[in-house]
Every structure is written in structure tokens, then in C-alpha cells.
Amino acid sequence: MAPAAATLSRLLCAGAWRRPQLCATVARGPVRPGCRTLGSGPAPAVSECEDHCGVGGLAPDVREQVLREPLKHADFFNVRELFSVRSLFEARVHLGHKAGCRHRFMEPYIFGSRLNQDIIDLEQTAAHLQLALNFTAHMAYRGGVILFVSRSRQFSHLVESTARACGEYAHTRYFKGGLLTNAGLLFGPAVRLPDLLIFLHTLNNVFEPHVAVRDAAKMNIPTVGVVDTNCNPCLLTYPVPGNDDSPAAVQLFCRLFRLAVSRAKEKRRQVEALYRLQGAAGQGAGPAP
């Protein structure tokens, strides 16, 4: 576990989070709470989307507490127990492509090569997966729109079913040009863009990087993606090195993301109910004595 913890802390301190006090907490919320609309449009009156996630008479300060609650813990949703290195191995997540297909930027994540086939380092995968699942859970907790993206025809039905099962959205079809960058024209002026993109397959049908990876980076949308040894992990916020071609591996990833999202939503309901009860108890106790 020591090397995993070391990589974890290294990853946490890397990148944009150069603030030491945040090393302990795992995730930070998005810059604008909730709604992500187009920058040029005026902020709608319902600027705090959590207003409507927790409608039912929650006062603003209570709402703030509800949102801040998960940030106090390192693994509030306990996503670590959803998988283990053993289960990843049994789902064949460690199998990569042949050495000729290897992408230069995937070399840090590759454990080695056996009979010319790359093997992915599952210790690193576990660490990255834990971060990714945790982030996904936090996004779902805060009522964010999660979009599952995949362009593999073999798993299109599975990904759409997964998205439907956890109450989120999926896009496994032809990705139209300005879907994220020109959404105002395509959908309507006040459309809400996804808050998180989860890529089960980072490449499209012609083995090129999916357009949505670049577009999400342009629109400041965080991305989680399963990257195989022939993919480019650069633009993804939370890359998860792993196999994306075996049915077992893809089913495992779908199951993990679905569980994370469902758990987070359930936790949100519980926490809100708890605070509502506390509030009622407090009011009841107030005028009584």
C-alpha cells in the first residue's frame, strides 16, 4: 500500500492543486457551484442549482453545510471498497495492446511488456481509479450532469444502459461538431452543459482521439477517462490507465461508475434528510422551553 499512498499523494499535489492545505482533502468543488452554462450568456436566476437539488425548504446556510460535508473527509463515499487490485486483475484490466501501438505518454503507466504485449501497472491504475471514482461521486453528490461517452459499437448499448440506470446521460453516437462548443445554437440559448465527461473509450472508430476530449478541455469541463496503451492521456483530468477492449474490463468500469454515482446520490438524500431532521428538532426545541 505504501507505493500506492505515495503515488496518491504525489498525484494530489501535482497539477493545478499547488495548495498544500488541500493535499489532505481529495477533491475541490467546481469554480461555479452547480450550473455550467455558456460563458457569454447571463447567469440565470437559478444560479445556485443545488437550490433545486435540495428543494424542500433548506435554508442557504444549511445547504452550504450539506455541500461542505463530504469535503471534510478523504474518502467520504468509501469508493476504495468497490474494487481491489485483485478484482482489476481478474477483469483483465492490466492487458494492453502490442508494443507497436504504444503511445509515448502512456509509458509511465506501463509495468512492462510480455511477449510484445504491454502490461499496465495495476498499482497506479488502482490509485488513479480511486481518484476518478471519488471525483465522480462528489460531482454526483452536488447534482452535476454526468455524460458517459464512448464510441465503441461493441459496448454502446452497455454504456447507454449504465447511464440510464444511474439517472445520468450518455453519448455513444456520432459526435456532432459543435455539441459542446456551439451548444447554444444546437440545443437552445439556455442549455446546461455537462459538468463531467466520463470516457469509457477515449478513441473513436478510426483510432483517433475523441473530439469531446479536446472540446471538454476547451469548455473547462473536467474529464475522467479509461486510457489504454494506445491512447493519449494528456487532456484528461483524471485518466485511468486500463484495458478498454475486453468485455470484462468494460463491464467492470461501467459497474464501478454506476455504483459510485448511485452511492453519492443516496448519500446526498441521507445527508439532506439528516439536516432537515436536525433543523426540525432545533425549531421544536426552541420555543418549547
Do 253 and 157 meet the contact criterion of CB atoms below 8 Å apart? no
Binding of residue 224 to other proteins (CB under 8 A) = no
Q: DSSP state, 121?
A: -
Whole-number Å distance between alpha carbons of 203 and 211: 9
231 binds other proteins (CB under 8 A): no
Cα–Cα dist 84/78, whole Å? 13
Looking at residue 35, its amino acid is: C
From the list 87-95, 105-113, 124-132, 172-180, the region that binds other proteins by CB under 8 A is 172-180
Does residue 169 contact residue 147 with C-beta atoms inside 8 Å?
yes
For other proteins, the binding residue among 99, 189, 247, 270 (CB under 8 A) is 189
- Which residue type is seen at 215? D
Ranges within 45-104 binding other proteins (CB under 8 A): 45-46, 49, 51-53
140 near other proteins, rule: CB under 8 A? no
Identify which of residues 3 and 178 has a Cβ nearer to other proteins in the complex. 178
Determine if 3 is a binding residue for other proteins (CB under 8 A).
no
Q: Give me the least distance between CB of 219 and other proteins, in Å please.
A: 13
225 binds other proteins (CB under 8 A): no
Instruction: Name beta bridge partners: 203.
Output: 209
Cβ atoms of residues 53 and 59 within 8 Å:
no
Other CB atoms within 10 Å distance of the CB of residue 199: 27
Nearer to other proteins, 138 or 171 (CB): 171
Distance CA 85, CA 73 (A): 23
Residues between 5 and 34 that touch other proteins (CB under 8 A): 34
Least Cβ distance, residue 193 to other proteins (angstroms): 9
Number of residues that bind other proteins (CB under 8 A): 36
Question: Given candidates 3, 44, 60, 247, which one binds other proteins under the rule CB under 8 A?
Answer: 44
Q: For residue 281, state whether it binds other proteins (rule: CB under 8 A).
A: no
Q: Kindly state the DSSP code that residue 45 receives in the 8-state scheme.
A: S
List the one residue from 91, 120, 132, 147 that touches other proteins (CB under 8 A).
Answer: 147
Give 121: exposed, middle or buried? Use CB within 10 Å, 0-12, 13-18, 19+. middle
Work out whether 145 is an interface residue with other proteins (CB under 8 A). yes
In the set 80, 102, 192, 276, which binds other proteins (CB under 8 A)? 192
Does position 222 bind other proteins by CB under 8 A? Answer: no
200 binds other proteins (CB under 8 A): no
- The cell numbers describing 257, all together, are 461508475
When asked if residue 179 is in the footprint of other proteins (CB under 8 A), the reply is yes
User: Could you give the residue ranges of the DSSP H alpha helices within the chain?
Assistant: 2-13, 50-53, 60-68, 85-90, 122-141, 156-165, 183-186, 211-218, 247-285
Q: Which residues bind other proteins (CB under 8 A)?
A: 34-35, 37, 41-42, 44-46, 49, 51-53, 143, 145, 147, 157, 160-161, 163-164, 167-171, 173, 176, 179, 186-192, 194
